[in-house]
Structure 1
């Protein structure tokens, strides 16, 4: 990731200690029958130290990512998340994300 120019890492620091971070990258998408094409920002992860959650840190990181996307003229931000992570889903929905597609699995 460090050597990939399309991969970005942003950190939140408090008193010299990392308390949150996000890893995201610019990803190309070819147009397909049911999907529009064009570059987008793909958020790989957002992580906030458990003792610093609900203090606006994730919102600040998300705002940074949005501003970065606008600066490089990218109109879409996407991410994957685990269905069971209700706390993350709530945050993303409050941040304006909507479900675009859903992956299902069946263990046999």
Structure 2
């Protein structure tokens, strides 16, 4: 198992991984997520050429079995908020057959190293409340809850 930056020829493997996560989201929140093919919606090219975006893959015998994509967000423009540099995890996915082997932690560590190199003050992400496995994973990785998004369906 090795962690490396994403390459152009990783697209098919990454598409399959991202679809696993998207299917979970569609299944649990069909009111929010459209059941579409992410080949169109997933912005793969920006991971290869944007200086403020990066993706890492976990590779096992030539196959991508995990991915973590991260973006440096622009500082807030509000005078109420302090200017800070936030590294936002866009996606972190490990193939269902490879979970609970430390791959997610290795990907998260690589993202953290890159974020520090970019001068980020914090590493942040959004996780859905229904995704208990992800919540447990991120808490075990040392992440803390910062805020809650509440909703009431009308």
TM-score computed with the length of structure 1 as normaliser: 0.90
Structure having the larger proportion of residues in helix: 2
Contact preservation (8 Å) 2:86, 2:121: yes
State the shift of 1:36 in Å. 3.4
Which ranges of structure 1 fall in alignment gaps of 5 or more residues? none
Superposed, 1:1-108 pairs within 5 Å as 1=43, 2-3=45-46, 4-30=50-76, 32-33=79-80, 35-108=81-154
Q: Distance in 1 between matches of 2:52 and 2:142?
A: 24
| 1:43-65 deviations in Å (ceiling 9; x for gaps) | 01100000100001000001101
State the shift of 1:32 in Å. 4.8
| 1:55-104 deviations in Å (ceiling 9; x for gaps) | 01000001101111222222200000100111000010111111111111
Q: Distance in 2 between matches of 1:70 and 1:5?
A: 14
Report the aligned-residue RMSD: 1.4
Q: Distance in 2 between matches of 1:99 and 1:105?
A: 17
Q: Whose radius of gyration is greater, 1 or 2?
A: 2
TM-score computed with the length of structure 2 as normaliser: 0.65
Count of residues paired in the alignment: 107
Structure having the larger proportion of residues in strand: 1
